Amino acid sequence: MTFREGAGDAGIQSLVSSGLQVADARDFSDQALAVEDAGDAEVLVFPEIGAAVMTGPAAEAHGMTAQSTLTANSPVGSIEPEYFAFADQGTVEAFGTRAPARGADGVSEYLRGFVQAAEVIARDLYNGREQRMAAEEEARALGTTWGLAACEVPPSTRTGAGVKVAVLDTGMDLQHPDFTGRALQFASFVGQPVQDLHSHGTHCIGTACGPKAPPGSTPRYGIAFGSSIFVGKVLSNTGSGTTASVLAGMNWAIANRCEVISMSLGSQSPEQAAYTAAGRAALTNGLLIVAAAGNASAVTGAPANSPTVMSVASVDRTLAPSSFSNFGKVEIAGPGRDVLSSVPRPTRYGTKNGTSMATPHVAGCAALWAQTSSSLRGMNLWRKLQETAKHLPHPASRVGAGLVQAP
């Protein structure tokens, strides 16, 4: 449930007064409230966002379901079903009772998005080996990945120093040698150690915040190499999570005042009020959330479809929209195909495709811009990224303002 703007405290009090067992993130260190830490609580409250997650039985018992009629004076503004979120952005509704929307042919639009994403992944697996090998060879020859070169990162004198970048994903390989000595803060919201056994999170962190000069012949793949890294594990080692785990990570990143919050995750679900409230809370506090538009060749998914979250599409090395990249609500684009970055040991480096890979390009560049001026925070940072983006000859519904550029 999402409280009406400015009614968060009243909403929390109403839950307590109803006799519900409430776990408030403010009672936990750095507001790192995870579901497994909540004990017998029936409600998890995320005060930075102004939202809460309630168990299904408690919601039914108190008549607080997605079908409930809310009065004008209720501190609760909306109640929604909980969804699963994925690193590869397929969609399943988690605990709600609302049936998925269906198209004219009776096929679930959510299922269609999931199938489309799977087809894209299958094509990439079939065609990707030679492309990835070529990309890695090219990167070594250039000394930097094609994505960083396209975003004009190598000439930039900025490092991201003094800027906190939160990456909410599958965690990180905390002992990856490329990050030795870096300032790391981390928390898990999925009942598993932060250590990344999936690789998606480590890859995204590498692009956004990886080193300027990796060892040996490895090309530069990281952007804001001087930033402080906040690792929020909101997706499990299978690459999935729920609204509760994602909101918990967002609340934690906002409470820690991370100037840039990168989310390469989502689902082909409708706009969710809780995500919109989280984006609004971030902007109000001078922070910026950037999120992947999705990989289903369909309309932008959540949370990127919220008006308060910057949606990132993917472009290929020709700077054309990637075939898998979602469209519609798109603010900006980043390199998302054949992206080389860090992955967990022993492999250490790998190439991936997706709007998930485009998003940390934007997050890293955002950190560089944030370093240039203390006034570039929140919505001002959002506008700066769009104003300085490289114009592309494609519809704004596919690439937004264009390709993100470093200062």
pLDDT at 140: 55
Can 37 be counted among the known catalytic residues? no
Which residue in 176, 198, 200, 203 is the catalytic one?
200
pTM: 0.89
- With a cut of 50, list the residues of the chain below it in pLDDT: 90-114, 116-117, 120-121, 124-126, 128
316-319, Cβ contacts within 8 angstroms, sequence gap of 24 or more: 317/135, 317/146, 317/150, 319/150, 319/392, 319/403
Query: CA angle, corner 218, sides to 215 and 222, nearest 5?
Result: 90
**Domain limits, the chain:** 2-79, 114-399
Q: Which has the closest alpha carbon to 296: 113, 91, 123, 85?
A: 113
Q: Report the CATH number of the 114-399 domain.
A: 3.40.50.200
Q: Which has the closest alpha carbon to 353: 41, 68, 129, 168?
A: 129
Which residue in 262, 264, 341, 356 is the catalytic one?
356
Give the C-alpha distances (Å, rounded to integers) separating 369 from 122, 332, 372: 36, 15, 5
Which residue in 24, 88, 169, 178 is the catalytic one?
169
**Which residue has 């390199």 as its token pair?**
335
Instruction: Note if the bond before 393 is cis, omega within 30 degrees.
Output: no
pLDDT at 90: 42
For helices 200-209 and 355-372, give the axis angle rounded to 10 degrees: 30
What is the distance, to the nearest Å, from the Cα of residue 323 to the centroid of all Cα atoms in its chain?
A: 20
Can 397 be counted among the known catalytic residues? no
Quick one: tokens of 21? Answer: 């067992």
Q: What gap in Å lies between CA 288 and CA 278, rounded to an integer?
A: 10
Q: Which has the closest alpha carbon to 194: 233, 230, 236, 228?
A: 233
- Residues 6+ positions from 404 with CB-CB distance below 8 Å: 151, 332, 333, 334, 361, 362, 365, 385, 389, 390
pLDDT at 92: 37
Can 325 be counted among the known catalytic residues? no
